[in-house]
Structure 1
Amino acid sequence: MQSDTTTSPQSSTARGAVAVIANRRGELLLHLRDDLPGVIAWPGHWSLLGGGADDGETPAAAVIRELDEEAGLTVADLAELFEIRDIYGSGQLITFFCGTWDGDETQLPLAEGVKLQFFAPEHLDILTIPLFIRDGINRYLAARPA
């Protein structure tokens, strides 16, 4: 696992986890966050599923819990990738995971946010995505096998 070392306004112990979920066509599953400024980080942005880790919870356990809580989603092949600090949002150190899922995202029971949608990587540039998430997606795409 790689780690970015960037200072943050929050404690270095604040952790989170997100998952880059790809389907067999290479599209990535993104989550449109609720537009609630002052309530959630990155309101109205497209992001990856995931969230903050509870006290004593590992990033791996957090991402599994968050996938289930937010979308009723279970991904069997999750693998840890790297860490990036969200210096412009929550300040958390975010662990990125990747996995595959080939279901119909419109049928997932979305419990948070506005919608889930698969996007081809070439269409991501037009979306409003948090900077650290965009960086993580780009790192994932650069490292994945052709």
Structure 2
Amino acid sequence: MDTLPENPAAAEPRGAVAIITNRRGELLLHLRDDLEHVAWPGHWSLLGGGCDPGERPAEAIVRELDEEAGLDAGSLRPLFETHDWHGSGQLITFFAGSWDGDETALPLAEGVKLQFFAPEHLPVLTIPPFIRDGIHRFLVVRPGT
């Protein structure tokens, strides 16, 4: 999907997030800490984060899922990229995967809470605009919708 730039130091900052769904079609969202130094504090978002130096988004999302929630979502597939212009400033790669466990049993290392939501409940949640747009893009094209 993407290639590493010849000069990684000159590359724009990158990040990765995962749209994790369960067999009921619900989406796993992460309530972010409400702290000043956190991008999108107090917002519901997707699990993920920034790429470490020299790390590809596909590697970053596997690491982030493990670090943030001890989650192995199986095979993740890349979807698309978009910028978080009003938060981290990163070019974000969206991935999709599935997981059918109890989100309340995950060892949450960052943030406040993990929760599955049915798509029809998303409009009332405070979600970063680029995440909301990404989820919408996903829901429009996913099989069975």
TM-score, structure 1 length as denominator? 0.91
Question: Paired residue for 2:34?
Answer: 35
Once the two structures are overlaid, the 10-residue window that deviates more, 104-113 or 11-20, is 11-20
Separation in 2, partners of 1:74, 1:125: 27
Matching residue within 88, 91, 94 for 1:90: 88
Q: CA deviation at 1:13?
A: 1.3
Question: Paired residue for 1:6?
Answer: none
Q: CA deviation at 1:75?
A: 1.2
Name the SS of the counterpart of 1:65 in structure 2.
helix
Matched, 1:16 2:8: no
Question: Paired residue for 1:58?
Answer: 56
Report the RMSD for the aligned CA atoms in angstroms.
1.4
For 1:6-54, what per-residue CA distance to the aligned partner results, in whole angstroms no more than 9, with x for missing partners? xxxxx861000000000000000000000002x1100000000000000
For 1:77-127, what per-residue CA distance to the aligned partner results, in whole angstroms no more than 9, with x for missing partners? 200000010011111000000000000000000000000000000000000
Contact 1:31–1:49 at 8 Å: present in 2 too?
A: yes
Separation in 2, partners of 1:16, 1:126: 26
Question: Paired residue for 2:24?
Answer: 25
Name the SS of the counterpart of 2:40 in structure 1.
coil
Instruction: Name the CA shift for 1:129/1:12 in 2 (closer, same or farther; >3 Å).
Output: farther
Aligned residues: 137
Contact 1:12–1:92 at 8 Å: present in 2 too?
A: no
5+ long unaligned stretches in structure 2:
2-9
